[in-house]
A = this chain, B = another copy of it.
Amino acid sequence: MTDLSVRTWRDAHAEILRRIRARAWAPGDLIPKEVDLAAEMGVTRSTMNRALRELAAAGVVERRRKGGTRVAEAPVRKATLDIPVIRREVEAGGRAYGYTLLHREATPPPADIRARLALTGAAAVLHLIAVHLADGRPFVEEERWINPAGAAGALDVDFTAISANEWLIAHTPFSRGDIAFGAASASPDVAARLAIEVCEPLFVIERTTWGDEAAITFVRLSYPGGYRMRTTL
């Protein structure tokens, strides 16, 4: 018998998840349509729709108009990562935040950076290298290119007092971005900046952000090997 305590979309969500876990509906199976489930559990279709929509967003079911709703075959679990401002990340750990700009130069970009920023001409971009500190010790190294065509005013900013990330957040909101996570070995330069040994492993985050028309910035963050980025499933 159906649990009569189903009153909210969370209840319905939980009940459907329970059935899927209990194999009442196996992976690949078509499950009843919204209207039927709603009727069975005693809620309106709107409520059931909300429950199923959330399950679809979590990758548990797949939905198609006319095709119905089916249990995901390969549960491509979706993990949501928070991408915090580094200052907050450090301060959230109870440590004092610091920031040192090591290099600042407007220069024509190398070919790979031109490609990442989708630049055609040879106009100069702003190249920054900085280290973020936690309790005075290197936390992460940042190498960044800023496209003046996408970030108006950046060339006039001295980034010694404010990190490029925070300046960009405040002045140049982005509309989309891509991000990649990987590992690399510390080059001599990066090793020196992070005060680690050459060839130690680095956790690397590469991010490109775009405005409505042009690329705004490309940044590579290199964390020493002990760093972990965590979330839940």
Contacts and interface: CB of A to CB of B under 8 A. Distances in A.
A110 interface: no
State the majority secondary structure of interface residues on A: strand
Interface in A153-193: 169-170, 173-185
A4 interface: no
A227 to B, nearest CB: 6
A74 interface: yes
A199 interface: yes
Contact of A80 (B80, B170, B176): B80
Contact of A233 (B85, B179, B183, B201): B179
3 closest A-B pairs by CB: A177-B233, A183-B183, A183-B203
Interface residues of A, number: 51
A227 B88 contact: no
Given A21-B175, A180-B230, A183-B225, A88 B76 contact: yes
Of A178, A183, A223, A226, most B-chain CB atoms within 10 Å: A183
Given A21-B173, A80-B80, 10 more contacts: A79-B81, A79-B83, A83-B233, A177-B232, A178-B231, A183-B202, A183-B204, A183-B223, A203-B203, A207-B233
